[in-house]
Amino acid sequence: MENDNQNPPVETDLLSTANSLQVKERQARTARVVNLGLWANAVLAITKLSTGILGHSQALIADGVNSLSDVIYFIVVRIFVAFSGKPADTEHPYGHHQFESIAAVVVGAFVITTGLAIFWDSVNTAFDQYTGTIEISPVRGFTLAVALFTIVIKTVLMFNAKSAEAKTGSIAVSALARDHRNDIFASTGVSIGIVFGLAGIPWVDPLAGAIVAVLVTKTGIDILRESSAELMDTVPSHEIDDNIRSNLKGFPGIRQVECVHAHRFGPFFMVNITVCVDGNITVYKGDRIAHDIETHLLNRMDMVRKVYVHYHPVDHL
C-alpha cells in the first residue's frame, strides 16, 4: 500500500540557473578574468621582487609583495568561483552563487593584511634611513621601466575585468577590477619614488611604499565592506526597486505596486512583489496577472531569476 504521508520531493534549482546558457557563459567569462589576472600577477610578482632587490627600490619591493599577495588570493578566488558554479541541490536550492561573495571577502582580508605589512615595512625602512642604521644604496634606472610596465599591464587587466563585471554582475570580478585599479595608483606612486631616488632623494622611495600600503588597505576595506553586505543579504539599492517599478508602470491589471523586496544570491536576485488589483476580478484573472508580471520581469531583467507575486484587491486597502 502506498504511503499517503510520504513527503513530496524537495524542489531544487529555484533560480533556474543549472541549465541556463547565459549563466554558463557568465561563469566561463568570470573564470577567464580570474585566470588571466592570476598568471599576470605571478609574472609581475617575480619581475618586481627580483628587480626591486637588484635595483635597490623599497617601493618596488613593496609593490612586488602586493603582487605576490594578489597571486595567493587569486588562487583562492579561482577555487571559490569554481564552487559557485556547482548546480543547486536539496540543501542549496538557490545554488552556490554566494561563494563569489565569500571569495570577495577573502580578497578584502588579504588586501588589508598586505597593506598593513607593506606600511610597517616601509615605515621601518624610512626610520632606518633617518637614523643611519642602514646603508642607502642608490636606486637603479631599470626599476623605473618595470614600474611603468606594471602600469600598462594593470590598465589592460582593469579594463578587461570592468568589461566582464558589466556583463556578469559578479562581486568577485568587481573586487578584482578595483584591485587592478588600486595597483595602477600604487605603481604610479612607485614610479614617482624611483624618479626621486634616481635624483638623489632616497627618502621618497620608502614614503612611496607607505603610500602604496595606504591605497592597498583602503581598497581592501571597501571590498570587505561590500562583500560582507552581500552575505548579510543587505536590502538592495533603490536602483533595483526603481527598475522593477519602472518595468511595471502601466502594466495591464495593476492598480498599484505596493512593495518590492529583493534577495541576493550571488549576482542573482529573487524578487517578492505585492501589487493591488481590481477587487471585482476573478481569482483566475488575478492569477493570470501575477503570472504575466513574473514572465515580464524575468524577460526584462537579466539578473532576476525568480519572481513571486502577491496580489490583493485595491478596495481592501
CATH (residue range 21-231)? 1.20.1510.10
Residue 1: pLDDT band (50, 70, 90) is very low
pLDDT digits (tens, 9 = 90+) for 21-79: 566 777 778 888 888 989 999 999 999 888 888 887 777 787 788 788 788 878 888 88
Average pLDDT over residues 270-277: 86
Residue 269 has pLDDT above 80, yes or no: no
Q: What is the mean pLDDT of the chain?
A: 77
Indicate the domain borders of the chain. 21-231, 238-316
Residue pair 230/221 in contact (Cβ under 8 Å)? The answer is: no
Cα Rg, the chain, nearest whole Å: 26
- Give the pLDDT confidence score for residue 13 in this predicted structure: 53
H-assigned helices in 232-282: 238-247
Residue 317 has pLDDT above 50, yes or no: no
- Has this prediction a pTM greater than 0.85? no
Q: Residue 110 and residue 75: Cα distance in Å, rounded?
A: 12
Sign of CA dihedral 22, 24, 30, 32: negative
Superfamily of domain 238-316: Cation efflux protein, cytoplasmic domain (3.30.70.1350)
pLDDT digits (tens, 9 = 90+) for 54-69: 887 777 787 788 788 7
Residue 88: pLDDT band (50, 70, 90) is low
Strongest mean pLDDT among 113-122, 162-171, 271-280: 271-280
Q: Residue 212 and residue 67: Cα distance in Å, rounded?
A: 12
Residue pair 107/176 in contact (Cβ under 8 Å)? The answer is: yes
- Give the pLDDT confidence score for residue 19 in this predicted structure: 52
